[in-house]
Amino acid sequence: MAAEMPDAIAALLSFGLLGVGCIAVVGKFIPVVPSYVLLLFLGMTTSDRGTLALTIMVTTIGSTVGALGWYGLGRALGQQRIDALVIRFGRYVFLNESLYRRMTGAYRRAPFRVTLIGQTIPCARIYIGMPAGVLGLEPRAFLAATMLGTLAWNAPFLSLGYALRGSGHDPVSVGAWAAAMLIAAEFVIVWALRSAAKSGITPPARASA
């Protein structure tokens, strides 16, 4: 199965969990393979539940380290330089100016929630740390939200890959369907929470003295 992945990924897998962690870090900077396909593949290579649990932990830490790298880049370069880089080169790495502006605008309204949810949205989850760094989001809040969001994304795909190991299923097609279902469920939950908040009882106005 490793032969179906790029040679660099197959080579890193030979180092065990250390290689898996490196794959997770590198995947945040060079997304050669969609994350859901890569996670399914890694899940299919695990031998038992103990290894699966360690793989979930290692990939979560690795992805978080990668996100912190984007955060540090955004904070070090600042808004003007990052804006210029996105406008000039963003389209070559699937980060167009429109997506970057939307992420930045969302961060101004609800930074913790945007970080958490952003880690479960393909493409956005790669670069979500950069606008957080540009805006100077509190590092501990960013770290906590990133780890929770990454765990919520990694665990289901790794577990599904583990369940499908030896079945002969194609990680690309299965991953695409699973990602679509996960994102749809996520939007339903967000919509339900917003609807519940809007339908809440408005506190009565105080009587005038």
Angle ∠(143,120,117) on CA atoms, nearest 5: 65
Tell me the two tokens of residue 73: 């880049």
**Residue 62, pLDDT score:** 95
Which of the 8 DSSP states describes residue 203? Answer: P
| Residue 175: partners with Cβ closer than 8 Å, 6 or more residues away | 34, 36, 37, 39, 40, 157
| CA-to-CA dists, residue 139 to 65, 129, 132, angstroms | 12, 10, 9
CB atoms under 10 Å from CB of 2, counted, come to 14
Q: What is the pLDDT along the chain (209 residues), one digit of tens a residue?
A: 444 566 778 788 888 899 999 999 988 888 777 888 888 888 888 889 999 999 999 999 999 999 999 999 999 999 899 889 888 887 776 777 887 888 888 777 788 888 888 888 877 788 888 888 988 888 999 999 999 999 999 999 899 889 888 766 666 666 666 666 666 655 565 555 556 555 554 444 444 43
Number of domains in the chain: 1
Task: Calculate the alpha carbon distances from 179 to 35, 157, 191 in Å.
Answer: 10, 8, 18
Residue 5 has a pLDDT of 61
**Residue reference for tokens 């490793």:** 2
Name the strand (E) or helix (H) holding 24. Answer: helix 17-27
Please indicate, yes or no, if residue 134 is contained in any of the structural domains.
Answer: yes
Is 155 inside a domain boundary? yes
User: Is 40:46 a contact under the CB 8 Å cutoff?
Assistant: no
Q: Is 202 contained in some domain?
A: no
Q: Is residue 201 part of a domain?
A: no
Domain assignment present for residue 204? The answer is no
Contact between 42 and 158 under an 8 Å Cβ cutoff? The reply is: yes
Which residues span the domain enclosing 49?
2-164+180-192
Q: Does residue 206 belong to any structural domain of this protein? A: no
Q: What are phi and psi of 171, to 5 degrees?
A: -60, -30
Whether the CB-CB separation of 82 and 134 falls below 8 Å is answered with yes
What's the predicted TM-score (pTM) here? Answer: 0.76
Dist CA 108 CA 105 (whole Å) = 5
The answer to whether 165 touches 43, Cβ cutoff 8 Å, is yes
Give 38-101 as a DSSP string: HHHHHHHH--SHHHHHHHHHHHHHHHHHHHHHHHHHHHHHHHHHHHHHHHHHGGGGT--HHHHH
Q: Answer yes or no: is 77 within a domain.
A: yes
- The answer to the question of residue 112 being in a domain is yes
Residue 78: other Cβ atoms inside 10 A: 12
